[in-house]
Amino acid sequence: MPQVHHVTHPLVQHKLTLMRMKDSSSNSFRTLLNELAALMAYEVTRDMPVVDVEIETPMETMHSPMIDGKKLTFASILRAGNGMIDGLLSVVPNARVGHVGLYRDPATLQAVEYYFKMPADMEERDVIVVDPMLATGNSAAAAVTKIKSTKPRSIKFLCLLAAPEGIRTLHEAHPDVPIYTAAIDRGLNDHGYIVPGLGDAGDRILGRDRSP
């Protein structure tokens, strides 16, 4: 799977293990999610273009590389994607943020859109779509389809956990979109949840029932 980037850094894997534990508090879960998002931001932005700018050091003038964070957009798939935004912005504070509101129909497991808001001038922007879980892949594929209608320069997908089914669905719909994930789990249960997984990320962020 050349388009899947498995982030295996020991710190990422350690924090993900702590998040998986069913007795982790909501506060710990949220903190770990932000820390993981920040760590993974380094991987997903590794190939961002840079330009040389002229600066003054205390010693002399020089040219040094900088990225234009204003050209980067983090697109959060509501609601759980918002749990990763603060961690990502701690690394790229000048990035813009967009939102895609989707919910999964419990009967069909298909994504239903209810909200969409992106920054202006998307043709000049690189987009990183953010959602902690890539389960069935239906919401991810629908979100990418909608974002592509704004004609951004590039799109990547960032998640903590991915199921093989979700990877397949997203790649079949959008083979040009690379996936960055901290783990590829065994698969989905009958309710479309990732197993072994970590439960419902949105519920755990909000301190609700964590047993899907």
Q: Is 204 a catalytic residue?
A: no
Which CA distances in Å does 117 have to 110, 143, 150, 172?
Answer: 21, 11, 11, 25
Catalytic site residue 86? Answer: no
How many Cα atoms sit within 13 Å of 173 on the Cβ side? 19
* Active-site position among 46, 203, 204, 209: 203
Q: Torsion over CA of 52, 53, 55 and 60, rounded to 10 degrees?
A: 40
Q: What is the DSSP string of 41-96?
A: HHHHTTT---EEEEEE-SS-EEEEEE--GGGEEEEEEETTTHHHHHHHHHHSTT-E
| Catalytic-residue membership of 108 | yes
Cα 53 to its chain centre, rounded Å, is 30
> Which residue has 């990877």 as its token pair?
167
CA-based Rg of the chain, rounded to a whole angstrom? Answer: 18
Residue of 31, 200, 208, 210 with catalytic role: 200
Please tell me the distance from the alpha carbon of residue 123 to that of residue 29, in angstroms, as a whole number: 35
Which member of 108, 131, 169, 185 is catalytic?
Answer: 108
Q: Out of 20, 104, 125, 126, pick the active-site residue.
A: 104
Q: Is 203 a catalytic residue?
A: yes
| Residues annotated as catalytic (active site), given as ranges | 104, 108, 200, 203
